[in-house]
Copies of this chain bind each other. A is one copy, B any other.
Amino acid sequence: MQHEIDIEVRYYETDGQGIVHHANYFKYFELARVKMLESVGLDYAELERQGILMVVHSISCRYMLPARFGDSLRLVTRVDRVTAARLDHSYFVYRGDSLLAEGKSTLACIDPAGEVQRIPECLLERH
């Protein structure tokens, strides 16, 4: 499963070097996951209201080229693996044909009390 979103770099996402601060890529990845859920008919806000909270277990990013304010980026997100306990994603940030950054994450699912729970069926079947 794969999904793609467009991201326009916002001014406040750049830092003193004039480039997108590296921590902001993780915010882009989060946005991509939410949009990917939307694309299969799942509303993450609604999931949280039902007590299904996705938490990041681990995440990483490798940066090849900087992104700047005004850049139009394309973020491709891929589901790599789905088990009852974990969701693995890969992320690829492009400007045109240039790959700017590449990331990976593993998510788990918790209840409102913070206890790990099985990934719910509604998520499993749509990934």
Contact mask A64-96 → B, CB, 8 Å, 1/0?
A: 001011100000000000000000000000000
Tell whether, in the assembled complex, residue A23 and residue B16 are in contact, meaning their CB atoms are under 8 Å apart. no
Say yes or no: is A6 at the interface (Cβ < 8 Å to chain B). no
Tell whether, in the assembled complex, residue B23 and residue A11 are in contact, meaning their CB atoms are under 8 Å apart. no
Tell whether, in the assembled complex, residue A17 and residue B63 are in contact, meaning their CB atoms are under 8 Å apart. no
- Smallest CB separation, A100 vs chain B (Å): 13
**Contact among B15, B31, B46, B63 with A15 in the assembled complex (CB-CB below 8 Å):** B15
The count of chain A contact residues (Cβ–Cβ below 8 Å) is: 37
Say yes or no: is A117 at the interface (Cβ < 8 Å to chain B). no
Known: A11-B30, A12-B15. 16 other contacts (CB 8 A): A11-B16, A11-B31, A14-B16, A18-B18, A22-B55, A23-B23, A23-B26, A23-B27, A44-B69, A45-B68, A46-B70, A55-B63, A57-B63, A58-B61, A60-B61, A66-B114
Most buried by B among A23, A53, A69: A23
